Structure 1
Amino acid sequence: MFLCKVISKCTLRLLLKSRFHRKQKIFIRLHSTRRLEEAYKVVKTKCQSKKLPKDVNPRAVFACNELDLKEVKVYGFDYDYTLACYKPSLDYLLYNLGRQTLIEQYKYPPDIKNLEYRPGFAVRGLHYDIEKGILLKLDSFLQIQFGAVYKGLTPLSNEEVLQIYKNRIIPIAYVEGHTKNASDSHTKMVQLADLFSVPEMCLICNVADYFEKKHFDYHPEILFRDIKSSIRNSHPVMHNIVAQNVSEYIERNDKLRQFFDRLVQANKKLFLVTNSPYGFVNKGMEFMVGKDWKEYFDLVIVQARKPRFFTDLSRPIRVYDERSGSHIWDRVTKLEKGVIYYEGTVKQLQDLTGWRGHQVLYFGDHPYSDLADVTLEHGWRTGAIITELTHEIATLNNPEFKKNANWLQMLTQLIEDHQDCEDPDEQKILMKWMAERDKLRNDIKYVFNEQFGSVFRTYHNPTYFSRRLFRFADIYTSNIANLLNYSVNHTFYPRRGVMPHEYISYFV
């Protein structure tokens, strides 16, 4: 009996000890999860108490590279979406003309006449996979942005994207081709980098969606080539329609003449190099500047066929006769003010004018065909006119966006600081934080564009378009007249960007 009492006491002690350890583990676990919950509350309170950032000036000029305007003697300009900014009506016009050409010349089903333009569907800078018929958004590391991949008008899930591409990162040869000047015929993926391509993207997706729903067996590359040709062949018709109804399609820029006056008074040279035909340009410039617009320019070249104008070594420059509307075949040995020129090359422009290197500042809207070659091959300084900045900056200045962006940054840091815990209950809390972060990232994306988000960012990385823009443009802004806010001797200084290894050492 004594032995039984001893055993019972031992058993009781073991039971009590076991209960104590269980309670201790529960207490430790509760204490551990409470630690995460408290950390969340502290960070959330700190975020809510933070003063929101100042608004970004929508008329500012932003610097990617230091640019001293005192060194600039010559100002050059593209025309479309640089000097002339178009109303949304032009997108509808190009879309409708392209759709009509598809039916009449390429014998596409008459039913596609019912496929209407979708404003706000696409953004500039997307890539179209001409092999697979997929429209998608890439970041600066050639990673696909999940949630921004479409076949026709249907968004593809992350699983479907990985099933198609086997990887989230696209090989550079697939995107850019194997040669330096890879054209559409060398690449499997084409970037739609100018604003004229926005209605083109919408037409591609609308027709592809129609074919998918009708279960038609179509070739994505043929569809792409046909629509690209249709839009391109529609441009002459578009030029005539716009020239006859300028105010319906072109935004009046009342400050453009003032800007030219400023440059001329500062003894700067001005030139215009555009792919558009003279009659079209003339009507637009008369509407925006006045009938004497040519007096501001020391050189005007139309139908330049950029980017070939910047890359070809030998292509004669010709004189355009305004009266007859034809080209004069005389050899051009000098470039004269008041004369309209046609085609040619940048080599001839430089040889005949002596305008070279950093004394030339050229503005365009297309990072590749306008800016890439002149900065890489000829050392010109460059400025990009990105009209989407108006919408992007308005979104950045929205107080709700600022709050969400601040909280996203702080929540991401919180997750990073606590992600290595191994306790299952702590992991559940982390998963809850991750779900909140995912929702925040989507909310921030949708306010720019519901399908594809910001022109300049994926969820956190710069887009592929941004990478090229920052590489080829010394400065960029939403409107050429924004330069009136700065003197002709102003120096633009880029902000010192924080590298990942510098982050903690800066006040950010």
Structure 2
Amino acid sequence: MFRIIIKRGYSTEGCRIVESLRRQYQQKKTQPLNSKEGHSRLGYTSPHEIFINNELNLNKIKVYGFDYDYTLASYTDNLSFTIYDSLRDIMVDVFRYPKHIKDFSFDPNFAIRGLHYDFDHGWLMKIDNMANIQLNTVHVGREPIHDINAVIDLHKGRHIPPDYLKTNMFQLSDLFSIPQATLLSDIVQYFRDHNMSFHPRYLSDDIHHAATILHTGTYGIGGTLHETIMKDISAYLKRSPHLVRYLETLRKNGQSTFLLTNSTLPFIAKGMSYLTSTNDWMDLFDVVIVNARKPEFYRSYRPFRRASEPNWDKVDQFIKGEVYQGGNMKDFAKLTGWSGQKVLYFGDHVFSDLADASIQHGWHTGAIIHELAKEIEIRNEPAYRNALSWLLHLENLLNQAQSWQKKEGYRVQELDGLIAEWRKERRDTRIRLKRAFNHSFGSVFRTYQNPSFFANKIRKFADIYMANVTNLESISQDYVFYPNRTYLPHEQLVETLIDSGKISEYL
């Protein structure tokens, strides 16, 4: 057991350690990454890269499947504004919320994907891969909760128990949910500002019902959102000649392709014709399935039905050029012969698109995460890299200082002061890094040292992920994606030395 003594003076060894740590601090402080190094290709990550969670051999993939929204279709920023405005108006016109709510406007810089909303308290927050709360991201309405003890007291710490997570919270898993979360926060703030009594779950339920009206609506067309997009499609969709070339390349190389989407045929037909600049877009797919109702598609036994005209016949084969709706995974595999790990399916929604396809049915999966491109560009900026380099240096200094105290068995007062000072600077630097991505919630993919809850699900349910499906355009059909070796904490020192080639210095 160590003998702990706080000394007002300190030994010769203590003096040497303190001065050494101060010198390391000052050297790094005065010599950050310069602009030239910051702009170099060293350490640069391209937003066009493909990132690997699990080994994937494309030579064994015979079938490529695609979702539509935010996978094949890339939307402009106009869509989020339209969703927000439409939901806001439904809340007033249908659910009789205060008319002043119609004065609200969408703030695109507030919410991010992957947040969790607490039904009972009206809190919006980000949690990490271990279900721990990132405390400085907890908001009620548009205001951060500064009293972190209120959050800690509720859960008896930062961890959210699985039962509470399942029954009292929901996650914002797709890009459609960002304007929904923003409006929910705006309404909570309005009610608080006007001292109106409310239960946060009622507000959440009403916005969920408003979203149902917006996205479903008329049979055969889709909700009012689909109607709005179809009226002015060039304002919402981006043409994608690279997408056409990629799909044509797959088919020329003998791969089968299919489209599996929850959207309706009129909406898909209009959108795909615009994206591909041709009305012959169905030639790009062997099978087209709309109104799939994922994730129920993977679990249910609903039969397929032809989508082009009223009919009541059983579907016992897929005919190229026909469009089908509904259906289920068992019949899909039976009718096509496509199953298991010869299928690679791409989608943007972790739970609706990827989870069941991967775990229950053995498909390989690719996640399309459009925010990834922006986050990569931020991480490439010299200011961000300087701040990250400084954070890692501070953490190394803190480890050295604490290790010396542990080794020597007593504490030095001046060293205690350095540790307290550096811990505060570490907190400030981590906040600066967080705000580089989003002032309120930080990165979509990371809390501080841990991956976010959202990023962990991507890692679990997607073999590969990327910002755009066309990133695969230049990849050969026999390419093998090899993931980086994942180091456990007790492995990292030796294996990092081996990777870097520095192990020879110690042999």
Normalised by the length of structure 1, the TM-score is 0.89
CA distance in 2, matches of 1:203, 1:106: 14
1:305 aligns to 2:293 (yes or no) = yes
- The yes-or-no answer on 1:225 pairing with 2:225 is no
Which of residues 346, 352, 360 in structure 1 aligns to 2:335? 352
Amino acid aligned to 1:230? A
CA gap 1:96/1:23 in 2 versus in 1, 3 angstroms: closer
Q: Quick one: distance in 1 between partners of 2:340 and 2:20? A: 60
- Tell me which residue corresponds to 1:489: 478
Give unmatched runs, 5+ long, in structure 1: 1-21, 178-186
1:440-482 C-alpha deviation (Å, 9 max, x unpaired): 1111110111110001000110000111100100011100111
1:24–1:431 Cα change, 3 Å = closer
User: Compared with structure 1, are the counterparts of its residues 29 and 331 closer, same or farther at alpha carbon in structure 2 (3 Å cutoff)?
Assistant: closer
Higher mean C-alpha displacement, 24-33 vs 89-98: 24-33
CA drift of 1:286 comes to 0.4
Code of the residue aligned with 1:275 in structure 2: it is N
How do residues 352-371 of structure 1 correspond to structure 2 at under 5 angstroms?
Answer: 352-371=335-354
Do the aligned partners of residues 477 and 28 (structure 1) sit closer, same or farther apart at CA in structure 2, a change above 3 Å counting? closer
1:430 aligns with 2:410: no
1:96 aligns with 2:85: yes
Q: CA deviation at 1:43?
A: 5.4
In the alignment, residue 58 of structure 1 is paired with which amino acid? P
Note the C-alpha offset of 1:485.
2.0
- Bigger radius of gyration, 1 or 2? 1
What is the deviation of 1:216? Answer: 0.7
Q: What corresponds to 1:164 in structure 2?
A: 154
Deviation for aligned residue 1:328:
1.8
Partner Cα distance (1:470, 1:26) in 2: 49
Residues 384 and 433 in structure 2, CA contact (< 8 A), matched pair in contact too: yes
Q: Is the 8 A contact 1:36 1:426 kept in 2?
A: no
RMSD of aligned residue pairs (Cα, Å): 1.9
Check whether the contact 2:52–2:483 (CA below 8 A) recurs between aligned residues: yes
- Contact residue 289 and residue 325 of structure 2 kept, 8 A: yes
Aligned: 1:33 with 2:13: no
Equivalent position of 2:434 in the other structure: 445
1:393 to 376, 384, 387: 376
Give 3-state SS (helix, strand or coil) of 1:135's partner: strand
Written as runs of structure 1 = structure 2, the 5 A alignment for 1:1-80 is: 33-41=18-26, 44=29, 48=33, 53-80=42-69
Tell me what 1:264 maps to.
251
Q: What pairs up with 1:52-451 in 2 under 5 angstroms?
A: 53-157=42-146, 158-175=148-165, 177=166, 187-235=167-215, 236-289=223-276, 290-312=278-300, 314-321=301-308, 326-419=309-402, 421=405, 422-451=411-440
Partner Cα separation in structure 2 for residue 23 and residue 303 of structure 1 = 74
CA separation in 1, counterparts of 2:43 and 2:310?
A: 54
Paired positions, count: 472
Deviations 1:353-407 (A, max 9, x none): 1101111000000111100101111111000100001101101111111121122
Instruction: Assess if the C-alpha contact under 8 Å between 2:8 and 2:413 holds in 1.
Output: no
Output the CA distance in 2 between the equivalents of 1:315 and 1:327: 17
Question: Partner letter of residue 33 of structure 1?
Answer: V
Q: 1:18: which partner in 2?
A: none
Change (3 A) 1:432 1:233: same
Give the secondary-structure state (helix, strand or coil) at the position aligned to 2:432.
helix
Indicate the percent of aligned positions where both proteins have the same amino acid.
38
For the Cα contact (< 8 Å) 1:382–1:475, is it kept in 2?
yes
Which segment is superposed worse, 240-249 or 498-507? 498-507
1:27/1:504 CA distance change after superposition, 3 Å: closer
How far does the alpha carbon of each residue in 1:177-207 deviate from its partner, in whole angstroms, 9 at most, with x for none? 3xxxxxxxxx211011111100000010000
Aligned residue type for 1:203? L
Give the gaps of 5 or more residues in structure 2: 1-6, 216-222, 406-410, 501-507
Q: Give the TM-score of the pair, scaled to structure 2.
A: 0.90
* Letter paired with 2:237: I
Identify if the C-alpha distance between structure 1 residues 500 and 292 changes in structure 2 by more than 3 Å, giving closer, same or farther.
same
